Structure 1
Amino acid sequence: MGISKHTTDKVKDRMDIEEVISDYVPLKRKGQNLWACCPFHGEKTPSFSVSPAKQIYKCFGCGKAGDPIQFVMDIEGLGFQEAVRHLAGKYGIEVEEEEAQTPEQEQAQSERESLLIALGFARDFFVKNLETAEGRSIGLSYFKERGFGPEIIQKFDLGYALDGWDNLLNAAKKAGFQEDILLKAGLILEKDGDPSRRYDRFRNRVTFTIHNISGKPIAFGARILTKDKNQPKYINSPETPVYHKSDVLYGMFQAKKSIREKDNCFLVEGYTDVISMHLSGIENVVASSGTSLTEGQIKLIKRFTDQVTVLYDGDAAGIKASLRGIDLLLEGGLIVKAVVFPDGEDPDSYSRKVGSQAFQDYLAANAKDFIGFKINLYRDEYERDPIRKAEVIREVVQSIAKIPDPIIRSVYSKEAASLLDIEEGIIYAEVNKILLKVQRDYHRKSEEVAQQEAAVEDLLSVEQEGFSVSEALQIQERELIRLLLNYGLKELDGESLNLCQYLLAETEDLTIHHPLYAKILDLFRQNLVNGQVVDSDYFLTLGDVEIRNEVIDLITPRREASVHWTDKFQIFIPKEEDDLTLTSYKSILRHKRKFVLKMMDEALQKIKNAHSEQYTDEQITELQEIYMGLKQVHIQIDRELGIVIG
């Protein structure tokens, strides 16, 4: 079934980009736009801009851009229709389905949606297997031993993969699924690259469904119950277009509401740890599924809370090996605490051993901030060895320096000095050394970027060494399109036409060399011929993704002057829209200047190659006259623009 156009239109009319994005990241207003650290890539300085007026977002760091539907598609890993369903649910809009489609048509909608449908089918298949004789005797009995009742089994979509080579494969084919989709979803394997030798990936194992943030099945983990040394204890789905392990945390779908309410996220290692804690009444818990913590997973936690409590098994060697995860959490701006269970215990075993209330009491009583936790972990070592103490101090300082908040950094520095019995000044000095080096590196990179941007902006008026004439012309073409998109409907002072009509008339005889800008300009002309003057909204509704992304980039300002200049200090900063007649006139002159420069360059190259091309004296004289004529036009434009040539 597909979503009707009527439903999609209702969602587009109702959705508000500020409401949608603020569900995932905190937004702060700066000028007319809202800003945040981008949820799609790691950064410390906000470069993610949201325009409520234009209903678009744009990240100047990674380039992600779009409308609210595109944002949900990107952040949730959904297809277009699934994103529309998600927003319809958010705004209480009833979803109208189009006429029923055949399985073949559904599969053809898109590969991404087909993968999600196939994974949903596999989830249902594994869950239903618990009702079979084999599933009851093996899978269900294992869950019962763990204390997992029907409610928790349903909550986490626990299931069982039957013992056999092709149970899922045959059931899925019978239901109309193509084998290639099952292969791409990681549900089946292919031996020696032979399509005729395909078989189930998961066999004779209990299954744990891995969901995306919206609750859609995207992968599976499976545990073997027999003691077979030739088989790994766990096998997991491979990376697929809908499953990127480094961006997923097991149990986040079930935990996100509780994490927001409790303003804390418990981080454990395995599937059963998560489920056992739910049984103990603790729902704000997720698992890294036995892998090292990644930046993507940290960003996922930070969407719901700034506080995380890491739960460690009672194994000192294992804890020390995983301490890098704490540093990553600190660097991600999270407040970190840690709890260590008694030797030989993990969250699953300990919660079943002591019961729900005692387990909750233990967590509350033993949660320590990361400084105390890290120092206590090495206490026995450094008390016997002064050199080891110096190494521990350096390790602690390295961790403190990763904290972005200066106040929290200061508090931890003081605590570390007290616990390590060392002067505060030494801790502060060492932390500042690290921060100074980081800042120097950052400023050096920022200066390089700023110099590149400045060089590009200067090309709007004069050529810069290192840029070709063609590159300079392309930049001016971009500026022309930017003005059309932002101010095309504005009327020019003292003129009976708007900016769009003026610019299109003045550039009628000029060739636009950049193919994308030429395409956009041609759409402007086509609409004007039909009596319509379009603006950026027209291009944002087109199905052309390349045009839409370029338009978003052109209409989203990278920086704005603070309102305090005017409101507080009465300093009025001129804006380009204050005098669009002059702005558009100078833009046309600059564009023509670059165009003339390109023609001069072409003429000069022909003159230089006159001997090799065997031009006659008359042809050479004609080229020289063309060049000098263009030079005179160039000089006249320079005078009009106020450009002084030495």
Structure 2
Amino acid sequence: MRIDPETVERIKQAASVTEVIGDYVSVKKKGANYWACCPFHGEKTPSFSISPSKGFYKCFGCGKAGDSVRFIMDIEGLGYGEALRHLAKKYGIEIKEQELTDDQVLKQNERESLFIILDWAKNFFRQQLNESEEGQSIAKPYFKERGFSEATMEAFELGYSPEAWDILLKSALKSGFTEEIIQKAGLVTQKNDDGKMFDRFRNRVIFPIHNVSGKTIAFGARILRNDSQKNQAKYLNSPETDVYHKSSIVYGIFQAKNAIRTEDMCYLVEGYTDVISLHQAGVKNVVASSGTSLTPEQIKLIGRFSKHITVLYDGDSAGIKAALRGMDLILEEGLQVNLVVFPEGHDPDSFVRKMGSEAFTEFVKKESKDFISFQASLFLEEAGEDPFKKAEMVKEMVQSIAKIPDAIQRSLFIQKTAGMMKMDEEVLLSEMNKIHLKQYKNSVSPLPEISQQQRQELQEIIEPIAEEKKDIQDPIYYHEFECIRLLVNFGHLEISPANAPGVTLLHYMVDELEGIHFHTELFNKVFGFAKVEFHQEKNPGPSFYLQHEDQEIQTLAIDLSAEKHQLSNAWKEKHEIYVKFETEMLEDLAYKNILRLRKTHNDLQITEVLGKMASGEVSESEMNGLLEEFMNLKQIQKNISTELGTVIEK
């Protein structure tokens, strides 16, 4: 349900950005701002700036920026609505929500009901583990054998489901839940013969699965006694529900997210017990794919907290193959991946229990290899002296490299592969280009004639280039950038209180930029929002952009407002040097900026007209019209140059 806008505003006003961030890191006042070591990447020297007056933070190291709501979204891994509710609870603000349609209310209520019944079931399983005779005699010894302490069992909220057919169903019905919601939560299943419902998890230890914010969304269960019914699966998971999509969640993410962010590394393992054993041993930045094939959604979830993944898998052939399959997916998502394979007969759980946490950490550090080194050592051992096998192995390595989206990283790994395999780098580049070309051909429908855009894309595939960056010589971009910077920071101020009282900078820009279309779409979007506010007789200040729901606009506003350095008072007090502030020169700044912007747009029009005239594809009458247009544009160019005091073009 959508939170009422007035409530959102109350939450944002109450949630002081300094206080919210201060709950997570130590902040220190320096001048008008506060500074801290960034909680999003490891650093020893503070580069994380908090501006209480403007209500935002910005890290000059990693670039993270936002307001108090964005901070909670990033640090806790929450959505916008969840972050608002988190802050509302912290500051005791009652949530008022907008009216929904009957269908929306029904869906919202059902989703909330699923969270409630799943939380109830988690507590039911925990109670059965800790208080029932079965739990004490059967389940507790299993967890103790695995080496899990009481504190660890509490941290992961482990439980037990008794052997009885319908003990959970009866207890849930008695607690007021309907059979329909119990079934939708995946807690019961149906017999094929008579349609009778019975508990899905029976005689199993229970591993609750949490989402990023810590809510129980599903369960994993391991059978304890399967000698009487050998057809039962060893592990059993909840089915897909409205709140649980197994391809989008990794086990342990709630317990691990802060450690992953702090360490800037995520260890990826296969099973629940691997996660729990490592967590207990002090390796807390670990999650599991829960025995399922790794998916792009799971990798993106991890990527919200770190761009570095180390895959830890069993030392058998199945474990190695699983590691290689997952590696390519991780590369495609733009994350950096290393791999560690444990000695045969060991998995992360058994290794850390046998060898201890120090030996485990040392082993991982020593054996961790980037994907190319891992593949090379594995493939060379398999291929031996067989040149045909070696050629196939090299092709597989190049196919993995081709999945990396960053062109510079691709180039470096091609160089490394060429060195390790003692091959010509150009041969590997040619092979990678063939792969890209094949992918390109498969991704577009056949056309009678290739378009200019496709021709350019194809050229980038044939000749890999580094990620495109804005040409620093592009004057249009920088004049537009400066225009938007002035708008965001000073748009609400009067441009000249003495000469034009009541006329704000936004008012002046709306009048003077009539008909101008920014070439950078984000700038166009910002100016569009500003014009809407102006036509509603509003004069938005910096907070309008700094707290905007559109993250792209908010991030831009912070970049335009953040000050890495502040002017010292010593210039005036000690040296008697007075430095003017931009607010004192607003009229001149705005006037000259808009003139420069108009000049660059006018110059672009001149270039376009000259291009048409030189094409040789225009009639005599059209040529006369273009010539007249050219003369007008040159006169405008001359007038603006005169006003700016620049060289007058001939």
Amino acid in the other structure paired with 2:386: D
**Once the 2 structures are TM-superposed, how far is the Cα of residue 77 of structure 1 from its aligned partner?**
7.7
Match of 1:198 in 2: 197
Residue 232 of structure 1 aligns to a residue whose secondary structure is coil
Post-superposition CA distance 1:276-330 (Å, at most 9, x none): 1112221111100011111111111111111111112011244225422101111
Match of 2:116 in 1: 117
Match of 1:331 in 2: 332
Amino acid in the other structure paired with 1:366: E
Post-superposition CA distance 1:17-66 (Å, at most 9, x none): 99999xxxxxxxxxxxxxxxxxxxxxxxxxxxxxxx999xxxxxxxxxxx
Amino acid in the other structure paired with 1:254: Q
Match of 2:134 in 1: 134
Match status 1:295 vs 2:292 = no
> Identity, % of aligned pairs?
49
* Aligned mates of 2:119, 2:144 — CA distance in 1: 24
* Aligned mates of 2:196, 2:73 — CA distance in 1: 38
Amino acid in the other structure paired with 2:399: Q
Match of 2:146 in 1: 146
Question: Does the CA-based 8 Å contact 2:88-2:95 persist in structure 1?
Answer: no
Q: Which moved more, 1:217-226 or 1:164-173?
A: 164-173
* Aligned mates of 1:350, 1:235 — CA distance in 2: 25
Identify if the C-alpha distance between structure 1 residues 78 and 188 changes in structure 2 by more than 3 Å, giving closer, same or farther: farther
**Once the 2 structures are TM-superposed, how far is the Cα of residue 428 of structure 1 from its aligned partner?**
2.6
Write the mapping of 1:307-326 to structure 2, written as runs, cut at 5 A: 307-326=308-327
* Aligned mates of 1:165, 1:187 — CA distance in 2: 12
Write the mapping of 1:510-529 to structure 2, written as runs, cut at 5 A: none
Match of 1:595 in 2: none
Amino acid in the other structure paired with 1:315: D
Question: Does the CA-based 8 Å contact 2:17-2:55 persist in structure 1?
Answer: no
* Aligned mates of 1:351, 1:389 — CA distance in 2: 35
Identify if the C-alpha distance between structure 1 residues 243 and 54 changes in structure 2 by more than 3 Å, giving closer, same or farther: farther
Question: Does the CA-based 8 Å contact 1:280-1:359 persist in structure 2?
Answer: no
Identify if the C-alpha distance between structure 1 residues 5 and 391 changes in structure 2 by more than 3 Å, giving closer, same or farther: closer
Residue 165 of structure 1 aligns to a residue whose secondary structure is coil
* Aligned mates of 2:188, 2:366 — CA distance in 1: 46
Which of 91, 95, 101 is matched with 1:94 structurally? 91
Match of 1:259 in 2: 260
Amino acid in the other structure paired with 1:139: A
Write the mapping of 1:167-316 to structure 2, written as runs, cut at 5 A: 167-192=167-192, 197-227=196-226, 228-316=229-317
Write the mapping of 1:59-74 to structure 2, written as runs, cut at 5 A: none
Amino acid in the other structure paired with 2:216: P
Match of 1:396 in 2: 397
Amino acid in the other structure paired with 2:168: L
Question: Does the CA-based 8 Å contact 1:78-1:113 persist in structure 2?
Answer: no
Identify if the C-alpha distance between structure 1 residues 355 and 553 changes in structure 2 by more than 3 Å, giving closer, same or farther: closer
Q: Show structure 1 runs of 5+ residues with no match.
A: 22-52, 56-66, 100-105, 451-486, 488-493, 500-523, 541-547, 558-569, 580-646
* Aligned mates of 2:281, 2:169 — CA distance in 1: 37
Residue 378 of structure 1 aligns to a residue whose secondary structure is helix
Identify if the C-alpha distance between structure 1 residues 98 and 253 changes in structure 2 by more than 3 Å, giving closer, same or farther: closer
Identify if the C-alpha distance between structure 1 residues 317 and 241 changes in structure 2 by more than 3 Å, giving closer, same or farther: closer
* Aligned mates of 2:147, 2:232 — CA distance in 1: 26
Match of 1:361 in 2: 362
Post-superposition CA distance 1:542-581 (Å, at most 9, x none): xxxxxx99x9999999xxxxxxxxxxxx999999xx99xx
**Once the 2 structures are TM-superposed, how far is the Cα of residue 238 of structure 1 from its aligned partner?**
1.1
Amino acid in the other structure paired with 2:118: L
Match of 2:342 in 1: 341
* Aligned mates of 1:185, 1:335 — CA distance in 2: 36
Amino acid in the other structure paired with 2:144: K
* Aligned mates of 1:293, 1:182 — CA distance in 2: 29
Residue 198 of structure 2 aligns to a residue whose secondary structure is strand
Residue 343 of structure 1 aligns to a residue whose secondary structure is coil
Residue 160 of structure 1 aligns to a residue whose secondary structure is strand
Question: Does the CA-based 8 Å contact 1:107-1:114 persist in structure 2?
Answer: no
Amino acid in the other structure paired with 1:224: I
Post-superposition CA distance 1:343-397 (Å, at most 9, x none): 1111111111222221221111111111111122222332242111111111101
**Once the 2 structures are TM-superposed, how far is the Cα of residue 210 of structure 1 from its aligned partner?**
0.6
Residue 343 of structure 2 aligns to a residue whose secondary structure is strand
Residue 171 of structure 1 aligns to a residue whose secondary structure is helix
Match status 1:383 vs 2:384 = yes
* Aligned mates of 1:445, 1:213 — CA distance in 2: 44
Q: Which moved more, 1:259-268 or 1:402-411?
A: 402-411
Amino acid in the other structure paired with 1:157: E
Residue 110 of structure 1 aligns to a residue whose secondary structure is helix
Amino acid in the other structure paired with 1:190: Q
Aligned-residue CA RMSD (Å): 5.8
* Aligned mates of 2:554, 2:303 — CA distance in 1: 29
**Once the 2 structures are TM-superposed, how far is the Cα of residue 16 of structure 1 from its aligned partner?**
9.4
* Aligned mates of 1:573, 1:442 — CA distance in 2: 48
**Once the 2 structures are TM-superposed, how far is the Cα of residue 421 of structure 1 from its aligned partner?**
2.2
Question: Does the CA-based 8 Å contact 1:20-1:68 persist in structure 2?
Answer: no
Post-superposition CA distance 1:450-498 (Å, at most 9, x none): 9xxxxxxxxxxxxxxxxxxxxxxxxxxxxxxxxxxxx9xxxxxx9x9xx
Question: Does the CA-based 8 Å contact 1:77-1:242 persist in structure 2?
Answer: no
Identify if the C-alpha distance between structure 1 residues 433 and 109 changes in structure 2 by more than 3 Å, giving closer, same or farther: closer
* Aligned mates of 1:306, 1:17 — CA distance in 2: 26
Question: Does the CA-based 8 Å contact 2:69-2:83 persist in structure 1?
Answer: no
Residue 186 of structure 1 aligns to a residue whose secondary structure is coil
- Count of residues in correspondence between the two structures: 469
Question: Does the CA-based 8 Å contact 2:73-2:83 persist in structure 1?
Answer: yes
Question: Does the CA-based 8 Å contact 2:266-2:310 persist in structure 1?
Answer: yes
Question: Does the CA-based 8 Å contact 1:107-1:177 persist in structure 2?
Answer: no
**Once the 2 structures are TM-superposed, how far is the Cα of residue 86 of structure 1 from its aligned partner?**
2.1
* Aligned mates of 2:173, 2:376 — CA distance in 1: 57
Identify if the C-alpha distance between structure 1 residues 369 and 8 changes in structure 2 by more than 3 Å, giving closer, same or farther: same
Identify if the C-alpha distance between structure 1 residues 148 and 436 changes in structure 2 by more than 3 Å, giving closer, same or farther: same
Residue 341 of structure 2 aligns to a residue whose secondary structure is strand
Question: Does the CA-based 8 Å contact 1:378-1:392 persist in structure 2?
Answer: yes
Identify if the C-alpha distance between structure 1 residues 108 and 414 changes in structure 2 by more than 3 Å, giving closer, same or farther: closer
Identify if the C-alpha distance between structure 1 residues 193 and 185 changes in structure 2 by more than 3 Å, giving closer, same or farther: farther
Question: Does the CA-based 8 Å contact 2:256-2:287 persist in structure 1?
Answer: yes
* Aligned mates of 2:268, 2:143 — CA distance in 1: 22
Q: Which moved more, 1:252-261 or 1:176-185?
A: 176-185
Amino acid in the other structure paired with 1:357: E
Identify if the C-alpha distance between structure 1 residues 344 and 402 changes in structure 2 by more than 3 Å, giving closer, same or farther: same
Match of 1:425 in 2: 426
**Once the 2 structures are TM-superposed, how far is the Cα of residue 170 of structure 1 from its aligned partner?**
2.0
Q: Which moved more, 1:420-429 or 1:5-14?
A: 5-14
Residue 120 of structure 2 aligns to a residue whose secondary structure is helix
Match of 1:164 in 2: 164
Question: Does the CA-based 8 Å contact 1:162-1:205 persist in structure 2?
Answer: yes
* Aligned mates of 1:553, 1:328 — CA distance in 2: 27
* Aligned mates of 1:247, 1:446 — CA distance in 2: 38
* Aligned mates of 1:374, 1:239 — CA distance in 2: 35
**Once the 2 structures are TM-superposed, how far is the Cα of residue 230 of structure 1 from its aligned partner?**
1.1
* Aligned mates of 1:94, 1:341 — CA distance in 2: 48
Match of 2:155 in 1: 155
Amino acid in the other structure paired with 1:95: G
Question: Does the CA-based 8 Å contact 1:85-1:95 persist in structure 2?
Answer: no
**Once the 2 structures are TM-superposed, how far is the Cα of residue 405 of structure 1 from its aligned partner?**
2.6
**Once the 2 structures are TM-superposed, how far is the Cα of residue 158 of structure 1 from its aligned partner?**
0.6
